[in-house]
Chains A and B, each alone.
Chain A
Amino acid sequence: MGDWFLSLPAGLRASLIITVTMMIVLSIFGAKVARLKPTDTPSGMTLVLVKLVEMVNDNQRDFFKQHWRTFTPLLFTILLFLSLANTASLVGLTAPLSNFSVAIGFSLFAFLSIQFSALVIKRPLQRAKDLMEPHWAFTPINLIGEMSTPFAMGLRLFGNLISGSVIALFIYSILGWAGVLIGPFLHAVFDVFFGVVQAYVYYMLLSIFLSGAVE
Protein backbone atom coordinates (compact mmCIF):
# COMPACT_ATOMS: atom_id res chain seq x y z
CA MET A 1 0.00 0.00 0.00
CA GLY A 2 2.71 2.46 1.03
CA ASP A 3 4.94 1.37 -1.85
CA TRP A 4 2.11 1.89 -4.31
CA PHE A 5 1.56 5.42 -3.00
CA LEU A 6 5.24 6.35 -3.06
CA SER A 7 5.73 5.01 -6.58
CA LEU A 8 3.19 7.50 -7.98
CA PRO A 9 4.43 10.70 -9.65
CA ALA A 10 4.63 13.65 -7.25
CA GLY A 11 1.75 15.51 -8.91
CA LEU A 12 -0.65 12.58 -8.57
CA ARG A 13 0.39 12.08 -4.95
CA ALA A 14 -0.34 15.74 -4.16
CA SER A 15 -3.68 15.46 -5.96
CA LEU A 16 -4.67 12.47 -3.80
CA ILE A 17 -3.54 14.22 -0.61
CA ILE A 18 -5.55 17.35 -1.48
CA THR A 19 -8.63 15.29 -2.38
CA VAL A 20 -8.59 13.38 0.89
CA THR A 21 -7.92 16.53 2.94
CA MET A 22 -10.79 18.33 1.24
CA MET A 23 -13.16 15.39 1.82
CA ILE A 24 -12.35 15.27 5.54
CA VAL A 25 -12.47 19.04 6.14
CA LEU A 26 -15.65 19.60 4.12
CA SER A 27 -17.39 16.64 5.82
CA ILE A 28 -16.58 18.11 9.24
CA PHE A 29 -17.89 21.55 8.31
CA GLY A 30 -20.87 20.10 6.49
CA ALA A 31 -21.86 18.22 9.64
CA LYS A 32 -21.42 21.42 11.65
CA VAL A 33 -23.67 23.38 9.27
CA ALA A 34 -26.27 20.60 9.28
CA ARG A 35 -26.42 20.72 13.10
CA LEU A 36 -27.01 24.50 13.12
CA LYS A 37 -30.52 25.68 13.97
CA PRO A 38 -31.98 28.46 11.81
CA THR A 39 -31.65 30.87 14.73
CA ASP A 40 -27.96 30.13 15.43
CA THR A 41 -25.17 32.29 14.08
CA PRO A 42 -22.23 30.36 12.58
CA SER A 43 -18.77 31.48 13.64
CA GLY A 44 -15.15 31.08 12.59
CA MET A 45 -14.37 28.84 9.63
CA THR A 46 -18.02 27.74 9.33
CA LEU A 47 -19.04 31.36 8.74
CA VAL A 48 -16.39 31.72 6.04
CA LEU A 49 -17.60 28.60 4.24
CA VAL A 50 -21.27 29.59 4.51
CA LYS A 51 -20.43 33.01 3.05
CA LEU A 52 -18.42 31.36 0.24
CA VAL A 53 -21.31 29.05 -0.64
CA GLU A 54 -23.68 32.03 -0.70
CA MET A 55 -21.29 33.95 -2.97
CA VAL A 56 -20.98 31.07 -5.43
CA ASN A 57 -24.76 30.56 -5.41
CA ASP A 58 -25.33 34.24 -6.26
CA ASN A 59 -22.69 34.00 -8.99
CA GLN A 60 -24.26 30.88 -10.51
CA ARG A 61 -27.76 32.39 -10.61
CA ASP A 62 -26.45 34.78 -13.27
CA PHE A 63 -25.34 31.88 -15.49
CA PHE A 64 -28.09 29.31 -14.98
CA LYS A 65 -31.70 30.37 -15.13
CA GLN A 66 -33.28 27.09 -13.91
CA HIS A 67 -30.64 24.49 -13.15
CA TRP A 68 -28.28 26.38 -10.83
CA ARG A 69 -29.23 24.12 -7.89
CA THR A 70 -28.01 21.08 -9.84
CA PHE A 71 -24.66 22.44 -10.94
CA THR A 72 -23.50 24.78 -8.16
CA PRO A 73 -22.15 22.01 -5.85
CA LEU A 74 -20.10 20.55 -8.70
CA LEU A 75 -18.69 23.90 -9.77
CA PHE A 76 -17.94 25.00 -6.20
CA THR A 77 -16.07 21.75 -5.54
CA ILE A 78 -14.02 22.28 -8.68
CA LEU A 79 -13.24 25.88 -7.67
CA LEU A 80 -12.13 24.78 -4.18
CA PHE A 81 -10.02 21.90 -5.48
CA LEU A 82 -8.30 24.03 -8.11
CA SER A 83 -7.55 26.88 -5.70
CA LEU A 84 -6.01 24.42 -3.24
CA ALA A 85 -4.20 22.45 -5.95
CA ASN A 86 -2.67 25.50 -7.63
CA THR A 87 -1.36 26.87 -4.34
CA ALA A 88 -0.17 23.43 -3.17
CA SER A 89 3.50 24.25 -3.70
CA LEU A 90 3.29 26.71 -0.79
CA VAL A 91 3.06 23.78 1.62
CA GLY A 92 5.76 21.69 -0.05
CA LEU A 93 3.62 19.58 -2.37
CA THR A 94 4.08 19.50 -6.15
CA ALA A 95 1.24 21.34 -7.90
CA PRO A 96 -0.98 18.52 -9.27
CA LEU A 97 -1.83 20.42 -12.44
CA SER A 98 1.85 20.47 -13.47
CA ASN A 99 1.36 16.75 -14.17
CA PHE A 100 0.04 16.21 -17.67
CA SER A 101 -2.25 13.34 -16.65
CA VAL A 102 -4.05 15.50 -14.10
CA ALA A 103 -4.45 18.33 -16.62
CA ILE A 104 -5.86 15.98 -19.25
CA GLY A 105 -8.08 14.52 -16.54
CA PHE A 106 -9.52 17.98 -16.03
CA SER A 107 -10.10 18.32 -19.79
CA LEU A 108 -11.87 14.96 -19.83
CA PHE A 109 -13.93 15.93 -16.79
CA ALA A 110 -15.06 19.18 -18.45
CA PHE A 111 -15.90 17.36 -21.72
CA LEU A 112 -17.85 14.55 -20.07
CA SER A 113 -19.74 16.77 -17.64
CA ILE A 114 -20.82 19.12 -20.44
CA GLN A 115 -21.88 16.29 -22.77
CA PHE A 116 -23.67 14.20 -20.14
CA SER A 117 -25.60 17.09 -18.65
CA ALA A 118 -26.60 18.27 -22.11
CA LEU A 119 -27.79 14.76 -23.04
CA VAL A 120 -29.70 14.25 -19.77
CA ILE A 121 -31.31 17.67 -19.51
CA LYS A 122 -32.01 18.46 -23.16
CA ARG A 123 -32.72 14.89 -24.43
CA PRO A 124 -30.63 13.40 -27.28
CA LEU A 125 -32.95 14.61 -30.06
CA GLN A 126 -32.83 18.26 -29.04
CA ARG A 127 -29.08 17.94 -28.47
CA ALA A 128 -28.58 16.62 -32.01
CA LYS A 129 -30.65 19.51 -33.33
CA ASP A 130 -28.46 21.96 -31.41
CA LEU A 131 -25.34 20.48 -32.93
CA MET A 132 -26.78 21.07 -36.43
CA GLU A 133 -27.40 24.67 -35.45
CA PRO A 134 -27.25 26.97 -38.48
CA HIS A 135 -27.37 24.17 -41.05
CA TRP A 136 -26.74 20.40 -41.01
CA ALA A 137 -23.48 20.90 -42.94
CA PHE A 138 -22.02 22.65 -39.87
CA THR A 139 -22.16 19.46 -37.75
CA PRO A 140 -18.45 18.51 -38.10
CA ILE A 141 -17.33 22.03 -37.18
CA ASN A 142 -19.66 22.05 -34.18
CA LEU A 143 -18.33 18.64 -33.08
CA ILE A 144 -14.73 19.90 -33.28
CA GLY A 145 -15.76 22.93 -31.25
CA GLU A 146 -17.29 20.67 -28.59
CA MET A 147 -14.02 18.74 -28.31
CA SER A 148 -11.49 21.55 -28.51
CA THR A 149 -12.82 23.90 -25.83
CA PRO A 150 -12.50 21.42 -22.90
CA PHE A 151 -9.11 20.32 -24.23
CA ALA A 152 -7.92 23.94 -24.27
CA MET A 153 -9.22 24.41 -20.70
CA GLY A 154 -7.06 21.59 -19.32
CA LEU A 155 -4.07 22.61 -21.39
CA ARG A 156 -4.32 26.20 -20.14
CA LEU A 157 -4.08 25.03 -16.53
CA PHE A 158 -1.15 22.74 -17.38
CA GLY A 159 0.71 25.49 -19.25
CA ASN A 160 0.35 28.00 -16.46
CA LEU A 161 1.43 25.65 -13.71
CA ILE A 162 4.34 24.12 -15.60
CA SER A 163 5.65 27.52 -16.72
CA GLY A 164 5.49 28.79 -13.14
CA SER A 165 7.33 25.80 -11.76
CA VAL A 166 9.98 25.79 -14.53
CA ILE A 167 10.70 29.51 -14.06
CA ALA A 168 10.92 29.02 -10.28
CA LEU A 169 13.31 26.09 -10.88
CA PHE A 170 15.51 28.17 -13.21
CA ILE A 171 15.73 31.10 -10.79
CA TYR A 172 16.46 28.89 -7.79
CA SER A 173 19.17 26.99 -9.67
CA ILE A 174 20.81 30.23 -10.90
CA LEU A 175 20.68 32.11 -7.58
CA GLY A 176 21.66 29.28 -5.25
CA TRP A 177 21.38 30.36 -1.60
CA ALA A 178 20.24 33.88 -2.63
CA GLY A 179 17.03 32.24 -3.93
CA VAL A 180 15.76 32.34 -0.37
CA LEU A 181 15.55 36.15 -0.64
CA ILE A 182 13.71 36.28 -3.97
CA GLY A 183 11.62 33.14 -3.41
CA PRO A 184 8.66 34.69 -1.56
CA PHE A 185 7.94 37.16 -4.37
CA LEU A 186 8.25 34.41 -6.96
CA HIS A 187 5.76 32.21 -5.12
CA ALA A 188 3.44 35.15 -4.47
CA VAL A 189 3.20 35.83 -8.21
CA PHE A 190 3.40 32.37 -9.78
CA ASP A 191 1.62 30.25 -7.18
CA VAL A 192 -0.84 32.48 -5.39
CA PHE A 193 -1.79 35.05 -8.02
CA PHE A 194 -1.63 33.00 -11.25
CA GLY A 195 -2.87 29.85 -9.56
CA VAL A 196 -5.98 31.45 -8.11
CA VAL A 197 -6.68 33.42 -11.30
CA GLN A 198 -6.44 30.24 -13.37
CA ALA A 199 -8.71 28.38 -10.95
CA TYR A 200 -11.25 31.18 -11.29
CA VAL A 201 -10.93 31.15 -15.10
CA TYR A 202 -11.51 27.38 -15.27
CA TYR A 203 -14.56 27.73 -13.00
CA MET A 204 -15.95 30.61 -15.11
CA LEU A 205 -15.42 28.79 -18.40
CA LEU A 206 -16.98 25.58 -17.11
CA SER A 207 -19.99 27.57 -15.86
CA ILE A 208 -20.37 29.32 -19.20
CA PHE A 209 -20.10 26.16 -21.29
CA LEU A 210 -22.35 24.13 -18.98
CA SER A 211 -25.03 26.82 -18.96
CA GLY A 212 -24.71 27.15 -22.73
CA ALA A 213 -25.12 23.39 -23.17
CA VAL A 214 -28.13 22.92 -20.87
CA GLU A 215 -30.16 26.12 -21.42
Chain B
Amino acid sequence: MAEFTEFFAQGMAYIGAGLAVLTGIGPGIGQGYAAGKAVEAIGRQPEAVGSIRTVMITGQALAETTGLYGLLVAFLLIFATGF
Protein backbone atom coordinates (compact mmCIF):
# COMPACT_ATOMS: atom_id res chain seq x y z
CA MET B 1 0.00 0.00 0.00
CA ALA B 2 2.79 2.41 0.88
CA GLU B 3 4.51 1.55 -2.39
CA PHE B 4 1.32 2.26 -4.31
CA THR B 5 0.97 5.69 -2.70
CA GLU B 6 4.56 6.51 -3.52
CA PHE B 7 4.21 5.61 -7.19
CA PHE B 8 0.87 7.39 -7.37
CA ALA B 9 2.36 10.59 -5.99
CA GLN B 10 5.31 10.35 -8.35
CA GLY B 11 3.03 9.87 -11.36
CA MET B 12 0.82 12.75 -10.32
CA ALA B 13 3.94 14.94 -10.02
CA TYR B 14 4.89 14.04 -13.60
CA ILE B 15 1.35 14.82 -14.83
CA GLY B 16 1.55 18.13 -12.99
CA ALA B 17 4.88 18.86 -14.66
CA GLY B 18 3.31 18.20 -18.07
CA LEU B 19 0.42 20.51 -17.27
CA ALA B 20 2.75 23.23 -15.98
CA VAL B 21 4.68 23.26 -19.24
CA LEU B 22 1.43 24.18 -21.05
CA THR B 23 2.21 27.78 -19.98
CA GLY B 24 4.42 27.76 -23.08
CA ILE B 25 1.29 28.43 -25.17
CA GLY B 26 0.95 31.97 -23.86
CA PRO B 27 4.47 33.22 -24.63
CA GLY B 28 4.28 31.45 -28.00
CA ILE B 29 1.21 33.46 -28.99
CA GLY B 30 2.70 36.64 -27.55
CA GLN B 31 6.06 36.31 -29.26
CA GLY B 32 4.47 35.43 -32.57
CA TYR B 33 2.21 38.46 -32.31
CA ALA B 34 5.20 40.70 -31.55
CA ALA B 35 7.12 39.28 -34.53
CA GLY B 36 4.12 39.77 -36.84
CA LYS B 37 3.69 43.36 -35.74
CA ALA B 38 7.42 43.96 -36.20
CA VAL B 39 7.18 42.65 -39.78
CA GLU B 40 4.27 45.02 -40.39
CA ALA B 41 6.27 47.93 -38.96
CA ILE B 42 9.29 47.09 -41.13
CA GLY B 43 7.04 46.89 -44.19
CA ARG B 44 5.71 50.34 -43.42
CA GLN B 45 9.06 51.89 -42.49
CA PRO B 46 12.00 49.82 -43.79
CA GLU B 47 14.67 52.35 -42.71
CA ALA B 48 13.87 51.77 -38.99
CA VAL B 49 14.68 48.05 -39.14
CA GLY B 50 17.51 48.23 -36.58
CA SER B 51 15.56 49.84 -33.76
CA ILE B 52 12.46 47.73 -34.52
CA ARG B 53 14.53 44.57 -34.19
CA THR B 54 15.99 45.68 -30.84
CA VAL B 55 12.60 46.55 -29.40
CA MET B 56 11.09 43.32 -30.71
CA ILE B 57 13.76 41.12 -29.17
CA THR B 58 13.58 42.95 -25.83
CA GLY B 59 9.81 42.62 -25.74
CA GLN B 60 9.96 38.95 -26.65
CA ALA B 61 12.51 38.29 -23.93
CA LEU B 62 10.09 39.93 -21.47
CA ALA B 63 7.13 37.92 -22.75
CA GLU B 64 9.11 34.72 -22.34
CA THR B 65 9.07 35.08 -18.55
CA THR B 66 5.65 33.55 -17.88
CA GLY B 67 6.60 30.47 -19.88
CA LEU B 68 9.78 30.16 -17.88
CA TYR B 69 7.81 30.21 -14.64
CA GLY B 70 5.88 27.18 -15.87
CA LEU B 71 9.14 25.49 -16.79
CA LEU B 72 10.55 26.16 -13.31
CA VAL B 73 7.45 24.67 -11.71
CA ALA B 74 7.85 21.60 -13.93
CA PHE B 75 11.48 21.21 -12.89
CA LEU B 76 10.49 21.54 -9.24
CA LEU B 77 7.84 18.85 -9.67
CA ILE B 78 10.18 16.45 -11.48
CA PHE B 79 13.40 16.87 -9.51
CA ALA B 80 12.45 18.33 -6.14
CA THR B 81 9.49 16.21 -5.02
CA GLY B 82 10.48 14.80 -1.66
CA PHE B 83 9.96 11.08 -2.18
- In the complex where A155-B69, A156-B65, A156-B68 touch, is A166 in contact with B57 (Cβ < 8 A)? no
Main secondary structure of the interface of A (DSSP, over half): helix
Q: Is the CB of A160 within 8 A of B58?
A: no
Binds B, one of A78-86, A128-136, A173-181, A193-201: A193-201
CB B80 to nearest CB in A, in angstroms, measures 11
Cα(A201)–Cα(B61), bound, Å: 7
Q: Are B64 and A166 in contact (CB under 8 A)?
A: no
Chain A: interface residue total (CB-CB under 8 A): 14
- Given contacts A197-B57, A201-B58, whether A155 and B72 have CB atoms under 8 Å apart is yes
- Residue ID in chain B nearest A202 by CB atoms: B61
Q: Could you tell me the dominant secondary structure of chain B's interface residues?
A: helix
**How distant is the Cα of A152 from the Cα of B64 in the complex, in angstroms?**
12
Which residue of B57, B64, B75 contacts A160 across the interface (Cβ within 8 Å)? Answer: B64
Q: Does A126 touch B at the CB level, under 8 Å?
A: no
**Could you tell me if A163 and B68 are in contact, using CB atoms closer than 8 angstroms?**
yes
Contact partner of A204 (CB less than 8 A), chosen from B58, B64, B68, is B58
Q: Are B58 and A159 in contact (CB under 8 A)?
A: no
| Known A-B contacts A156-B68, A159-B69, A160-B68; A166 and B75 likewise in contact (beta carbons under 8 Å) | yes
Residues of A within 8 A of B69 (CB): 155, 159
Query: Please, what's the 1-or-0 string for A149-172, where 1 marks a CB less than 8 Å from any CB in chain B?
Result: 000100110111011001000000
Besides A152-B65, A158-B72, 12 other A-B contacts (C-beta < 8 A): A155-B68, A155-B69, A155-B72, A156-B65, A159-B69, A160-B64, A162-B72, A162-B75, A163-B71, A198-B61, A201-B58, A204-B58
B-to-A contact residues, CB < 8 Å: 57-58, 61-62, 64-65, 68-69, 71-72, 75
- Give chain A's interface residues, CB within 8 Å of chain B: 152, 155-156, 158-160, 162-163, 166, 197-198, 200-201, 204
